[in-house]
Structure 1
Amino acid sequence: MSDILKRADGRFESCNEHGEPNVETSLKHSIDQMVINWHVNETCNYRCVYCYTKWERPPSVRDVIRQPENTANLLRSLWAFFDPANLKNPLKDTLTWRRVRLNFAGGEPLLCRADLIRAVELAAQIGFDVSIITNGSRLDSETMSALAPHLDWLGVSLDAADMRTNKAIGREDRRSRQLDPEALRDSVATARSNNPDLKLKINTVVSSQNHEADLTRVIARLSPHKWKILRALPMTTTAGMVTDEQFRAFVHRHRSLTDTIRVEDNADMLKSYLMIEPKGRFFQNHNDTLKEGYRYSRPILDVGPGAALESAGFSAFGFANRYR
């Protein structure tokens, strides 16, 4: 897996694990969208056993999303750096893109509803394509009416359709309330009535609790534009891990939905995402299976996106392969 490293002339270069430039650095990859995932909070009303949204962070530092001025500064600095027209972006040596999408994630981002709505509106005004990924528990009609007009994608995490499996995973709140697929259909309908161009994505994490499930019917009824099937990733916990055979069997069981499915195994997720944690640092998955946790950059608001990305570790080619 490649890293983006800084050269003596200040430009970034893709290198192998020994620090040697890759032969493929001379090849430029073209993608439609550069996607940045901002995990705005760690708080969640669910307690999924495999949860990877746990960050090392100073408790005294507030989440950026809770600070309107810092939120605006972060969004504007990210746009200035990743703007497709910014030919000085060092990633342009290896990637070209036409648009930039900012994906708001968590935790559960709708637990900071007012701050999220304000940030989504501003991101859309600045020029980002905008999406959110939510567990769906707070998708009431009022929230959808406020968010939908500014969204290009609505992402919902859905791992199971029955109460027993959801409970085993931890996909319920403290009052044992779970996401009802029929209620989710109503929420999606409300969103689409406010924005007919809105696209729906479903994320499913395959874990030891749901690897035998058959979601064919519920996914078909929701009719998403994309169904991303991911394998539980051992970054902050090894709970919920599945074998290669169990993961392949889950994917094969849903082969009738092949046109919608996008599969991501663990190796696909290493260093191939642009991710920002709640305090405003880039962070990356690593490929050291004996070490839990993430690799962090310096704070973006302190050093700027370019310097922060340099210190985070990022595979431009891994990113391109996921979106090709």
Structure 2
Amino acid sequence: SEYWMQFSSVLASPVLLLQLCINTLRNILASVFLTVRTPGARWGTMSSVAPVGGGEGEGRAQDVMTPTSVNYHFTRKCNYKCGFCFHTAKTSFVLPLDEAKRGLQLLEASGMEKINFSGGEPFLHDKGEFLGKLVQYCKQDLQLPSVSIVSNGSMIKEKWFQKYGDDLDILAISCDSFDEATNQRIGRAQGRKSHVDNLHKIRNWCQQYKVAFKINSVINTFNVDEDMVENILQLNPVRWKVFQCLLIDGENAGEKALREAEGFVISEQLFQDFLERHSSVPCLEIVDGLFMRFLDCREGRKDPSKSILDVGVKEAICFSGFDEKMFLKRGGKYVWSKADMKLEW
């Protein structure tokens, strides 16, 4: 399984409001009084896929390994209602652009090579402009080898590719079924728009604007018997990432969850049967921002670390937990820069 880190924020919390008041007074009186730093409350969602050392406490910093690849869930809002969603819209807060950039710079300085922006739906906030500016910053200013996005595709316009496509290496579109009725049952739909037709349109834009195209699919009760071979081969993504539907307490399972995903979960045998039927697909890959905090999902829930904006990357990542062998086994390291893929556009 992947371990997630969370960069999020709590809107109008007493701690945050108190901090804003303190910061205002501090700026006015800085020339007279000695300033005392007060830690701020910051959230956001990052999933680190880089190995780290075990244990807790300040003495573990020297054992921390590089956060090579990071998933940054900077928003929880989404225009779809997928029944199995593990990152639901519990808050509408999005970290300000300057703070998000500062966190990304801290990660790059700690060794991050790949950043993946996700959500929620990342194109929903500011009609994709916020996302585009982050993509541009990571490629042009931080010069990261790989910048990627995971999206449901419903909000993407061609003009976004025209403005930011050069700085994007990979665009992954989530598609769980090639049958529209199935997509409707899952909740991966918006009105009567065709998710599948939109998928083909975005695939063509990716080819036109030289962005590597990828597909993510969550295998669940409603699509486990579907044969997707022909459709995947026709779309020809650089990777087809297949997930098994899992439960995360407080997100898609439990009393405080906004989703009830129990009805979407399939057995291990059914998942293996699906993989066997699709084993001929060469690009198949199997996978068992808000306050800028790492999330530890080892206990079936998301336990946040302190914010990297307050304590730095090394101290925060000590609490995230990571299985290096599993990271390498599932192909966590791969060719992720479009310049190195040598694709024929």
Deviating above 3 A after TM superposition, structure 1's stretches of 4 or more consecutive aligned residues are 6-10
Offset, 1:156? 0.8
Q: CA deviation at 1:188?
A: 2.1
User: Quick one: percent identity of the two aligned structures?
Assistant: 26
Q: CA deviation at 1:246?
A: 1.2
2:27 corresponds in structure 1 to none
**What is the DSSP-based 3-state SS (H/G/I as helix, E as strand, rest coil) of the residue aligned with 2:195?**
coil
Alignment of 1:113-132 (within 5 A): 113-125=128-140, 126-128=142-144, 129-132=146-149
Cα deviation, 1:153-200, whole Å, max 9, x if unaligned, reads 111101001111001100112x343412x43223222222222xx322
Letter in 1 for 2:291: K
Deviation at 1:313, TM superposition (A): 2.1
Q: Equivalent residue of 2:107, what SS?
A: helix
Distance 1:244 1:136 in 2: 29
2:293 to 265, 268, 281: 281
> 2:94 aligns to what?
63
Quote the residue 1:233 is aligned against.
Answer: 246
Q: For the structure 1 residues 190 and 55, does the alpha-carbon distance in structure 2 shift closer, same or farther, using more than 3 Å as the test? A: closer
Q: How does 1:105-254 map onto structure 2 within 5 Å?
A: 105-112=118-125, 113-125=128-140, 126-128=142-144, 129-173=146-190, 175-180=191-196, 182-195=197-210, 198-235=211-248, 236=251, 237=253, 238-239=261-262, 240-254=264-278
Give SS of 2:68's match. strand
Q: Which amino acid is the alignment partner of residue 167 of structure 1? A: Q
Query: Residue 103 of structure 1: which of 116, 121, 128 is its match?
Result: 116
Whole-Å separation in 1 of the counterparts to 2:273 and 2:161: 35
Partner residue in 2 for 1:12:
63
Whole-angstrom distance in 1 between the partners of 2:54 and 2:214: 29
| 1:116 aligned counterpart, secondary structure | helix
Q: For CA contacts below 8 A with separation 6 or more, give which structure has more relative contact order.
A: 2
DSSP-derived class of the 1:201 partner? strand
Residue type of the partner of 2:198? Answer: A
User: SS of 2:199's equivalent?
Assistant: helix
Distance 1:114 1:9 in 2: 39
Task: Please give the alpha-carbon distance, in whole angstroms, between the structure 2 residues aligned to 1:131 and 1:9.
Answer: 31
Amino acid at match of 1:12: D
| Residue 298 of structure 1: how far off its partner (Å) | 0.7
**C-alpha distance in 2 between matches for 1:10 and 1:279:** 21
Q: Does 1:307 align with 2:318?
A: no
SS in 2 for 1:42: coil
1:51 and 1:149 map into 2 onto residues whose CA distance is 30
- Asked if 2 retains the 8 angstrom alpha-carbon contact of 1:132 and 1:153, the reply is yes
Conservation of the 8 A alpha-carbon contact between 2:77 and 2:88: no
Give the TM-score, by structure 1 length.
Answer: 0.75
- For the Cα contact (< 8 Å) 1:5–1:12, is it kept in 2? no
TM value normalised by structure 2 = 0.71
CA distance in 2, matches of 1:13, 1:119: 26
Higher strand share: 1
Which of 285, 301, 314 is residue 262 of structure 1 equivalent to? Answer: 285
Q: Match for residue 110 of structure 2?
A: 81
SS in 2 for 1:247: helix
Q: 3-state SS of the aligned residue for 2:172?
A: strand
- How far apart are the structure 1 equivalents of 2:195 and 2:308? 35
Provide the rounded CA distance (Å) in 2 between the counterparts of 1:222 and 1:137.
17
Q: Which runs of 5+ in 1 are unaligned?
A: 15-30, 84-99, 266-276
Q: Which amino acid aligns with 2:278?
A: H
Flag the 1:284–1:178 CA change in 2: closer, same or farther, 3 A.
Answer: farther
- Structure with the greater alpha carbon radius of gyration: 2
Is the contact made by 1:130 and 1:150 (CA closer than 8 Å) also made in structure 2? Answer: yes
The CA deviation at 1:260 is: 0.9
